[in-house]
């Protein structure tokens, strides 16, 4: 028992010193609290940006956006704005995609998840992107978004619902490549599961053939 008392007397100064260290560390805690509060404020601001858009995560939340060139950043925002205008129903797909068209190369290549080949041409790509945005509608949401060095490579994660009757959840990712001028040169869409992709293909087939035929007719007449 006396040994235990001696041990306690020995430990008490150390414990008191530890308490003194804890008190002395309070400025550090205050600093950490301040940083955490600032982070919470940043998160709230990011959420406010996202909530102002119907497509979920706002473009300012993309990882790597700080390295994007002004041209790449302009294209990135043009895509978000154009897609959001169609998805929310604020604009027709023709009007919204006309805003995106200057940010595309004339020989842009589009690879959809519903077709084994690729479509070539900025007008064709805009038509397909506008049409698929119509199909997705307000259920479409972007999640995580990554931009590569200088913003010339994008990976945009998304979820949406497809199907006129029984809705199926579709998840996917947009893989976009820009040229040195910051214009879209390739746009690839990967999606799953297969049954939801099949429903998307059905919806696209109801709309795309007639629109493509009309676009080709306008080109033949020199109207595009």
Tens of pLDDT, residue by residue over 90-126, are 999 889 999 999 999 999 999 999 888 899 999 999 9
User: 37-71: per-residue pLDDT in tens?
Assistant: 333 333 333 343 344 455 665 677 899 999 999 99
For residue 87, give the nearest of 139, 142, 161, 123 by alpha carbon.
Answer: 139
Q: Domain spanning 56-220 has what CATH number?
A: 3.10.450.50
- The pTM for the full model equals 0.72
- Beta strands across the sheet bearing 168-178: 119-120, 104-111, 184-192, 168-178, 153-162, 141-147
């Amino acid at each position: 028992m006396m040994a235990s008392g001696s041990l306690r007397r020995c430990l008490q100064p150390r414990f008191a010193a530890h308490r003194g260290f804890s008190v002395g560390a309070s400025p550090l805690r205050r600093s950490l609290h301040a940083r955490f509060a600032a982070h919470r404020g940043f998160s709230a601001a990011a959420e406010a940006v996202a909530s102002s858009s119907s497509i979920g995560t706002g473009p300012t939340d993309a990882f790597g956006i700080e390295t994007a060139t002004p041209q790449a950043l302009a294209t990135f925002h043009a895509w978000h704005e154009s897609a959001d205008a169609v998805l929310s129903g604020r604009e027709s797909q023709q009007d919204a995609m006309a805003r995106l068209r200057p940010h595309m190369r004339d020989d842009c290549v589009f690879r959809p998840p519903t077709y084994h080949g690729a479509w070539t041409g900025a007008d064709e790509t805009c038509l397909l992107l506008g049409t698929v945005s119509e199909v997705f509608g307000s259920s479409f949401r972007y999640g995580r978004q990554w931009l590569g060095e200088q913003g010339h490579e994008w990976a945009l994660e998304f979820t949406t619902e497809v199907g006129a009757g029984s809705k199926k959840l579709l998840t996917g990712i947009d893989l976009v490549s820009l040229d040195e001028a910051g214009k879209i040169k390739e746009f690839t869409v990967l999606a799953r599961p297969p049954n939801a992709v099949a429903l998307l293909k059905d919806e696209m087939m109801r709309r795309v053939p007639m629109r493509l035929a009309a676009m080709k007719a306008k080109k033949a007449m020199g109207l595009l």
